[in-house]
Amino acid sequence: MKKIIAIDVGNSETTVGVGNSNEWIGYRFTTRKTITSDELLMMFKTIIDIEPIKENKVDGAIICSVVPQITNSVALATSKFISKEAIVVGPGIKTGLKVNIDNPKELGPDRIANSIGGYMKVKSPVIVVDLGTATTFDLVNEKKEYLGGAIAPGIKISLDALTSKTSSLKSVELETPKNVVGKNTYEAIQSGLILGHTSMIDSMIEKIILESGLKTKIFITGGLGKVIQPLLNLKSQYEENLTLDGLEEIYKLNN
């Protein structure tokens, strides 16, 4: 299989994958909205080790970004890094996904990639839950049609809001608490954030399935997905690189 560079620029983190769906060599950076293309290029050259793929070279690159301020900088730096023009998911790019919502242009490129990544794994209806800055739910049917979704505040945003708007509540580690009923403030916050968010996801998925009438496979992805997925009551599968897998499929369609 061809090896590519797939980049997912999120509001909090930027994920870079080198390889393909068989194996991604992953890198994560904090997203800085003021970073220049030259700074990014230096970062790529310093941090990204392309030694494992030198024999076959990198075929190309694809980018999805929800931070428009730096999309062009990322594209320019990536194109210089591999000496080939990078594909940016957006208008005019083939995705193979029919978007059946009021305004298809509103759907973020990361959610398009997630939907495609999930669908391509099973070729049947899927719900994809991405636990990033926001927690997003996306629904795709058996015809590879995107039917809509939901957006909720992410766990880290909820924690930031809780600690910044109160005088006595402090930040906690985002780990699974030992008990639902906390014995102190620290445990109580952990329970509300982690177990409360888990309950919300379980309930939302149940409501989506009931409303759509679809028998779906459930995929969980995103930074905190590996913490939340084992706690869900519903049967689901954690896919760390689902967005990158979706980007690879879009890359293939456009080459």
Q: Per the structure block, which two tokens stand in for 154?
A: 């992410």
100-147 pLDDT tens trace: 999 999 999 999 999 999 999 999 999 999 999 999 999 999 999 999
For the chain, the first-to-last Cα distance in angstroms comes to 14
CB 30 within 8 A of CB 13: yes
Q: Where are the domains of the chain?
A: 4-88, 98-108+124-240
Which stretches of the chain drop beneath a pLDDT of 70? 50-56
**Which CATH code fits 4-88?**
3.30.420.40
Which residue numbers are catalytic? 110
Contacts of 239 (CB under 8 A, 6+ apart): 117, 118, 121, 219, 220, 221, 245
Q: 98-108+124-240: same fold as 4-88?
A: yes
79-100 pLDDT tens trace: 999 999 999 999 889 999 999 9
Fold of 98-108+124-240: Nucleotidyltransferase; domain 5 (3.30.420)
pTM of the model: 0.93
pLDDT at site 35: 94
CB 219 within 8 A of CB 118: yes
